[in-house]
């Protein structure tokens, strides 16, 4: 192979997402837009025959790319090259193609159509992922685990409650995605500077027909609205709004991948690992969280990529400038291709995540005596008539001694045994075990999962048509 191949196409994105941004889909949509324009103009009284439209329909898919490239090398204009190629295939329809339109009629409208289709595919991936994370949260809602703040041991939570945090991020992302889907509008037919002057001329000054044409084009592609005003292009803020949704999904996935990588270090969880998979070319024992690391890498790409439409939107000139084109050809498809891979990987990891309860318990038991000290002190004051201040000093002394032994000698945490042996506390093993029952330290974590999942289930029911199995890509 002697030419660069995008990793998005070779390794990461699914066939479905790659098709949406393929030349066949893009330029096929251009031709469909030219057909829709001719149909609408004919309906509004322009002298266009049914035979001309039928001829265009017959050649909508047979794009001669070699001829198009030859035309573009000569005319230096991609839309005109495709128009000339289409015209050669449809000689009778050639005189009426692109009537009154500008390049952005096919370019911008196709971009919106592609973004809508890509967002719908992302929604399928996202809803499927929400279901997978939901199931994981429910399964482990009652399993206590050590909580971490600053990646230092903190009050216990449950494995399922931690997963509910991931789930909440995804639910927020779905809400934002739905809003952008509902907000998408086609450019329509607005001419070279957005005034529709060419169409006004075409319809002999009938402004109502020019306005109606705009709506007719949108309806033919399943849109209920066009942008209310535009220059030659729709506002590039639309691109930013769409990519910002993808950026937010990337943020959520990156957070998840970070958590998995940290917990993998603690040996509490482990992402799927194939029987013949190699973790390291040198260290044969390694089981590195490579899929989570890949998620993190792709997420960073998307977060950075979101700057492209932001800068493009902010630097447009008056009614049109072409310095958006080259950037958008790369930034928009690659954001979608990356998120497609991210969501597939995320579903794969969480769906096959290995949880190790004994390690989780071991890590929790190692820290629990420190967390239980206040409860121990309160129990002894209430039930043993002990002096709170005296016990506080005793706990401080025992805790420091236990920490010293742990850090300097590598000893186990024996704080509980030190307290049991201290007559000031007057505790039996049974009493101490009851005080240190880990479930007493997880608060209402389990109920929080149940309450949240009840709302998630309603959301999944509303979106049941999007619950599809994620297409497999290389993971």
Query: CB neighbours (10 Å) of residue 262?
Result: 15
For helices 237-265 and 103-139, the axis angle rounded to 10 degrees is 30
| Cα–Cα distance, 278 to 332 (Å, whole number) | 34
- Do residues 68 and 82 lie in contact, with contact meaning Cβ atoms separated by under 8 Å? yes
- Do residues 227 and 185 lie in contact, with contact meaning Cβ atoms separated by under 8 Å? yes
| Cα–Cα distance, 118 to 239 (Å, whole number) | 13
Tokens at residue 377, please?
Answer: 């002190």
| Cα–Cα distance, 417 to 398 (Å, whole number) | 10
- Among residues 104, 108, 99, the alpha carbon closest in space to that of 201 is found at 99
The dihedral formed by the CA atoms of 287, 291, 294 and 299, expressed in degrees to the nearest 10: -130
Query: CB neighbours (10 Å) of residue 224?
Result: 11
Of 280, 314, 325, 439, which one is the catalytic site residue? 280
- Do residues 196 and 169 lie in contact, with contact meaning Cβ atoms separated by under 8 Å? no
Q: Is 153 a catalytic residue?
A: no
Query: CB neighbours (10 Å) of residue 386?
Result: 18
- Do residues 322 and 452 lie in contact, with contact meaning Cβ atoms separated by under 8 Å? no
Query: CB neighbours (10 Å) of residue 285?
Result: 6
- Do residues 124 and 466 lie in contact, with contact meaning Cβ atoms separated by under 8 Å? yes
User: Can you name the residues that pair with 154 across neighbouring β-strands?
Assistant: 147
| Cα–Cα distance, 49 to 51 (Å, whole number) | 5
Q: Is 150 a catalytic residue?
A: yes
Per-residue b or e along 66-78, where b marks 16 or more CB atoms closer than 10 Å to that residue's CB: eebeebbeeeeeb
| Cα–Cα distance, 109 to 202 (Å, whole number) | 21
| Cα–Cα distance, 307 to 297 (Å, whole number) | 17
- Among residues 253, 82, 248, 280, the alpha carbon closest in space to that of 173 is found at 248
User: Can you name the residues that pair with 147 across neighbouring β-strands?
Assistant: 154
Of 3, 73, 150, 182, which one is the catalytic site residue? 150
- Among residues 310, 315, 335, 347, the alpha carbon closest in space to that of 127 is found at 347
| Cα–Cα distance, 35 to 54 (Å, whole number) | 9
- The residues that are catalytic are 150, 280
């Amino acid at each position: 192979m002697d030419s660069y191949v995008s990793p998005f196409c070779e390794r990461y994105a699914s066939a479905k997402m790659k098709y949406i941004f393929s030349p066949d889909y893009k330029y096929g949509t251009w031709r469909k837009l030219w057909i829709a324009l001719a149909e609408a103009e004919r309906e509004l009284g322009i002298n266009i025959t049914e035979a001309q439209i039928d001829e265009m329909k017959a050649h909508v898919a047979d794009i001669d790319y070699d001829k198009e490239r030859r035309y573009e090398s000569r005319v230096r204009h991609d839309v005109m090259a495709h128009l000339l190629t289409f015209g050669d295939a449809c000689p009778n329809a050639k005189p009426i193609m692109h009537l009154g339109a500008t390049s952005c009629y096919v370019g911008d409208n196709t971009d919106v159509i592609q973004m809508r289709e890509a967002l719908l595919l992302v929604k399928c991936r996202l809803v499927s992922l929400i279901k997978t994370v939901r199931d994981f949260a429910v399964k482990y809602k009652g399993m206590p685990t050590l909580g971490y703040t600053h990646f230092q041991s903190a009050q216990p939570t449950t494995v399922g409650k931690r997963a509910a945090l991931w789930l909440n991020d995804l639910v927020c992302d779905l809400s934002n995605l739905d809003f952008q889907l509902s907000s998408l509008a086609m450019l329509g037919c607005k001419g070279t500077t957005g005034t529709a002057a060419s169409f006004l001329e075409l319809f002999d000054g009938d402004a109502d027909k020019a306005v109606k044409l705009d709506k007719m084009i949108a309806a033919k592609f399943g849109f209920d609205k066009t942008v209310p005003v535009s220059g030659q292009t729709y506002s590039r803020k639309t691109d930013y709004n769409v990519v910002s949704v993808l950026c937010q999904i990337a943020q959520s996935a990156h957070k998840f991948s970070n958590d998995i990588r940290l917990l993998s270090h603690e040996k509490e969880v482990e992402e799927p690992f194939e029987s013949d998979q190699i973790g390291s070319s040198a260290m044969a024992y390694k089981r590195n969280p490579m899929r989570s690391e890949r998620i993190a890498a792709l997420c960073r790409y998307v977060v950075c990529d979101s700057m492209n439409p932001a800068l493009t939107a902010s630097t447009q000139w008056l009614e049109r400038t072409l310095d958006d084109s080259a950037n958008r050809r790369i930034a928009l498809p690659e954001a979608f291709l990356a998120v497609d891979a991210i969501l597939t990987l995320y579903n794969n990891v969480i769906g096959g995540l290995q949880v190790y309860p004994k390690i989780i318990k071991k890590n929790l038991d190692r820290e629990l005596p420190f967390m239980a000290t206040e409860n121990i002190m309160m129990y002894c004051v209430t039930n043993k008539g002990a002096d709170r201040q005296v016990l506080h000093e005793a706990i401080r002394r025992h805790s420091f001694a236990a920490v010293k032994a742990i850090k300097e000698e590598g000893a186990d945490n024996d704080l509980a045994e030190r307290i049991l042996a201290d007559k000031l506390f007057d505790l039996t093993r049974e009493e101490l075990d009851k005080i240190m029952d880990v479930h007493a330290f997880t608060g209402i974590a389990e109920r929080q999962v149940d309450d949240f999942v009840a709302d998630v289930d309603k959301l999944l029911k509303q979106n049941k048509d999007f619950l599809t199995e994620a297409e497999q890509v290389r993971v």
